[in-house]
Structure 1
């Protein structure tokens, strides 16, 4: 399924699931104005095409206990393909690194780290430095308050070039 094969109902399905991953199939079909079987078939095609890569729950970490979220910009010492590959393979092993993006501009990577406290964060950075994965420089940005996160992408804008109605 190419990006051009999506119609308004496919976009509606993706948009609803991005906000409400646990919606029942019956309610989903009602909301996109399809009977259950055609809706289910579309959903399966979207999954098979790799457009839906998973379902998850947003967890209120503050209710679990103390934690800190830190965004970290990373610059590598060298910029050869093997240096990037080594860094990327190694970063997957750190459970506290909850997201990692390769970025353009002045830095090579942006990490999201979620851990118990600043001391544990420093332990993680020390372990990364000890691992000799080519980390040249890093800058840490402590999250003090979540203003907006986990929002659904603007599907209408991405697919059709029109602003989403919402």
Structure 2
């Protein structure tokens, strides 16, 4: 089973509460995706064109493509393509390159999405939960979310009993977890990079 991915970092709910964007005793007011917002701002700052967007799109799917092949894909000669690539890296639009590992070939596993509600919505409660979650290797991603729950976690364990053991440990650790709901992934239907072209086209024009 291939693991669904979400590449964005989401601002902690504790930060939202500390900044007055959330009233005590209420759920987080809104979902924020600073990684995506920062990318859009960089797009505006560096006036990216269709070829820059093409470079981002190709690399998001084929991180090991050669520079010559990349240049051909975006209709550029190698030197200008390399210069554009360096600009995108220096600007922070390209944060790194990583392998897309097939967990199915690595071994048996189960992927679970977990909605979490905390006992308290004070800023210190969010901070304590986020610190605690960061030490669990099985929690591969965690987002603060708006709506009826406080967080969405993505958990990967060897099997369902292993997942339940993890959640029992989190409850016993008294990290402020009031209740949670589990959604086991049975099949990946789609996984891919965000629509860079649509994001770029939708940005306000100066």
TM-score using structure 2 length: 0.73
Partner of 1:98: 140
In 2, Cα distance between the equivalents of 1:49 and 1:131? Answer: 41
Partner of 2:43: 3
Partner of 1:68: 110
Instruction: Give the superposition deviation at 1:160.
Output: 0.3
- Asked whether 1:155 is paired with 2:196, we answer yes
- Asked whether 1:121 is paired with 2:163, we answer yes
Per the alignment, in what secondary structure is the counterpart of residue 84 of structure 1?
helix
In 1, Cα distance between the equivalents of 2:68 and 2:125? Answer: 49
Partner of 2:179: 137
In 2, Cα distance between the equivalents of 1:28 and 1:44? Answer: 13
Gaps of at least 5 residues in structure 2 are 1-40
Q: How many residues align?
A: 161
Instruction: Give the superposition deviation at 1:88.
Output: 1.5
Gaps of at least 5 residues in structure 1 are none
In 1, Cα distance between the equivalents of 2:100 and 2:182? Answer: 24
Instruction: Give the superposition deviation at 1:14.
Output: 0.6
Name the Cα RMSD after superposition: 1.7
Partner of 1:109: 151
Instruction: Give the superposition deviation at 1:161.
Output: 3.2
Instruction: Give the superposition deviation at 1:18.
Output: 0.9
Instruction: Give the superposition deviation at 1:32.
Output: 1.3
Partner of 1:79: 121
- Larger RCO: 1 or 2 (CA < 8 Å, sep 6+): 2
124-133 or 137-146, which moves further after superposition?
Answer: 124-133
